[in-house]
Structure 1
Amino acid sequence: MVATSTLNRNLECLSEFAGRGYDLTCIDHEMDFWERCLADPYLGAEVCEEQTCQQLAQLLEGCLSRAKASKLKCAHVLVPETLTRRVARDMLRLAAGEPCGLRGCVLDVHLELEEQQHRCERLERLACDASVVPTFELTLVFKQDGGGWPSLRDFLRIGTCFPPGTHRALKLRPGFRLIKKKLYSSSAAGTIVEEC
Structure 2
Amino acid sequence: MDRLSTEPNIGDALSFVRTCHLVTMLENSLYRAKSAKLQCSKVLVPKELTARVAQEALKLSLDEPCGLRGCIIYVNLESNNKQASLDTIIYDCSVEPTFELKLVLKQDTQGWDYVRDLLIHRSCFPQLFRSIIKLSPKFQISKKRLYFSVIGVGNEDCQ
TM exceeding 0.5: yes
Q: CA deviation at 1:43?
A: 7.6
* CA 136–85 in structure 1, closer or farther in 2 if over 3 Å, else same: same
The alignment yields a C-alpha RMSD, in angstroms, of 2.3
* Residues 34-183 of structure 1 mapped to structure 2, 5 A cutoff: 44-114=10-80, 118-148=81-111, 149=114, 150-156=116-122, 161=127, 167-183=130-146
* Dislocated runs of 4+, deviation >6 Å: none
Identity fraction in percent: 41
Aligned counterparts of 1:43 and 1:122: Cα–Cα separation in 2: 38
Q: Could you tell me which runs of 5 or more consecutive residues in structure 1 were left unpaired when the two chains were aligned.
A: 1-41, 187-196
> What is the match of residue 190 of structure 1?
none
* CA 68–113 in structure 1, closer or farther in 2 if over 3 Å, else same: same
* Residues 6-45 of structure 1 mapped to structure 2, 5 A cutoff: 44-45=10-11
Q: CA deviation at 1:160?
A: 5.2
* CA 158–138 in structure 1, closer or farther in 2 if over 3 Å, else same: farther
Aligned counterparts of 2:46 and 2:126: Cα–Cα separation in 1: 27
Q: CA deviation at 1:63?
A: 0.5
Q: CA deviation at 1:155?
A: 3.4
Equivalent residue pairs, number:
139
Aligned counterparts of 1:68 and 1:88: Cα–Cα separation in 2: 20
> What is the match of residue 22 of structure 1?
none
Q: Could you tell me which runs of 5 or more consecutive residues in structure 2 were left unpaired when the two chains were aligned.
A: 1-7, 150-159
TM-score normalised by L of structure 1:
0.65
